């Protein structure tokens, strides 16, 4: 089966591409290798994919922007993918406050191009990355997919919510099966250097102070990368179906009369930020110098996923504890950075 993975040099895209190749899929990866963070990390990920067994015949990579429609069409025409997993996006909540246009171009214009290509080439299933950020000002925990997600507190979150609405339109108008995944703070080896856990680990390892926002009064539903990848792969052959019993009088925004679904994909066991930092300290065997700061614009204080819907649909059940996940990440971090 031919699977197109956008954002293939990114954190989740790399891990997904690697696992799909190991399972024998034909994988087409695309990425623009932008410099939002060090491109060396992205190129190192690609080098691993190129070196996998059978990658010479099952792995194809193209450096393109998804907002460049003609380049995207060429890839679809050349390979005729059956499944598309769209992970390409301009990431980062705080950066979206500084450069909102980058998010509009990549996350909205680019995603529109993905939808058009999926429609034109009759893709069997489009899986795309949304985010727990869409819950925004929602204070009721845990977050359920049927709860409101219409008060985003960052441009990044607004673009991801827009993706969900755009996907529904295509599912309705063109019967394109789409599944949106609201990721909850994914972490692990080969992760993004702009993420808090990576920043903390790097600073503590160097003996530098770390900034802790909202004075540490935060909880996050940290989700280990291996669990996320297993969840995505479980969905590849589990396309959403039309819901003939859809309740039009009391509509669930995560479902539809069309082949459309939205799922939370998280660990469903939120951890206090200070406990998370303590796990990093223990793994590094070093104490952090802590500087406590007020909450940052665009941040939310707590996240907690309810994953019953995804579990019922595909059997998704995360298995990795915070301690296990952090230890594995720190072990990789030391090796990768020569510590």
Interior/surface letters 124-158, b for 16+ CB within 10 angstroms, e for the rest:
ebbbbbbbbbbbbebeebbbbbeeebeebbbbbbb
Separation in Å, CA 66 to CA 30, 34, 85: 8, 12, 13
What distance in Å separates the CA atoms of residue 266 and residue 261, rounded to the nearest whole number? 16
Strands (DSSP E) found in 1-135: 2-6, 26-31, 59-63, 83-86, 125-131
Of 90, 9, 84, 67, nearest in space to 42 by CA: 9
Active site residue 198: no
28, 4 in Cβ contact below 8 A? yes
**How many other CB atoms sit within 10 Å of the CB of residue 334?**
14
What distance in Å separates the CA atoms of residue 78 and residue 238, rounded to the nearest whole number? 25
Alpha carbon of residue 253 to chain centroid = 20
Give me 71's structure tokens: 């380049």
Give me 185's structure tokens: 């703070």
- Please spell the DSSP secondary structure of 189-229, one letter per residue: TT--TTSHHHHHHHHHHHT--EEEGGGG--EE--EEHHHHH
Is residue 201 left, alpha or beta, with left meaning phi > 0 and alpha meaning psi from -120 to 50? alpha
Separation in Å, CA 180 to CA 1, 96, 155, 298: 21, 21, 18, 22
The catalytically annotated residue of 36, 128, 156, 187 is 156
**How many other CB atoms sit within 10 Å of the CB of residue 113?**
19
Q: Which residues are catalytic?
A: 156
């Amino acid at each position: 089966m031919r699977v197109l993975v956008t954002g293939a040099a990114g954190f989740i895209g790399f891990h997904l591409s690697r696992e799909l190749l190991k399972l024998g899929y034909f994988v087409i990866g695309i990425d623009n290798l932008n410099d939002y963070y060090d491109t060396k990390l992205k190129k190192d990920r690609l080098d691993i994919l190129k070196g996998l067994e059978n990658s010479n015949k099952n792995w194809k990579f193209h450096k393109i922007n998804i907002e460049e429609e003609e380049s995207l069409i060429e890839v679809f025409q050349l390979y005729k993918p059956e499944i598309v997993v769209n992970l390409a996006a301009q990431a980062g909540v705080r950066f979206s406050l500084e450069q909102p246009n980058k998010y509009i171009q990549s996350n909205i214009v680019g995603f529109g191009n993905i939808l058009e290509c999926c429609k034109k080439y009759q893709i069997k299933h489009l899986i795309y990355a949304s985010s727990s950020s869409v819950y925004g000002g929602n204070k009721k925990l845990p977050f359920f997919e049927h709860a409101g997600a219409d008060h985003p507190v960052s441009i990044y979150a607004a673009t991801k919510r827009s993706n969900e609405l755009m996907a529904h339109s295509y599912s309705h108008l063109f019967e394109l099966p789409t599944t949106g995944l609201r990721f909850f703070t994914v972490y692990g080896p080969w992760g993004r250097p702009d993420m808090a856990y990576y920043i903390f680990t790097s600073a503590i390892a160097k003996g530098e102070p770390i900034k802790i926002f909202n004075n540490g009064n935060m909880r996050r539903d940290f989700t280990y990368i291996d669990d996320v990848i297993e969840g995505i792969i479980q969905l590849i052959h589990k396309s959403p179906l039309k819901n003939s019993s859809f309740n039009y009088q009391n509509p669930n925004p995560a479902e539809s009369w069309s082949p459309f679904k939205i799922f939370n994909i998280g660990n469903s066991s939120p951890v206090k930020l200070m406990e998370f930092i303590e796990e990093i300290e223990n793994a590094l065997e070093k104490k952090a110098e802590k500087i406590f700061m007020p909450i940052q614009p665009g941040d939310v204080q707590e996240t907690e996923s309810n994953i019953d819907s995804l579990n019922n649909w595909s059997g998704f059940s995360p298995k990795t504890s915070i301690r296990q996940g952090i230890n594995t990440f720190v072990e990789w971090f030391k090796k990768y950075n020569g510590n």
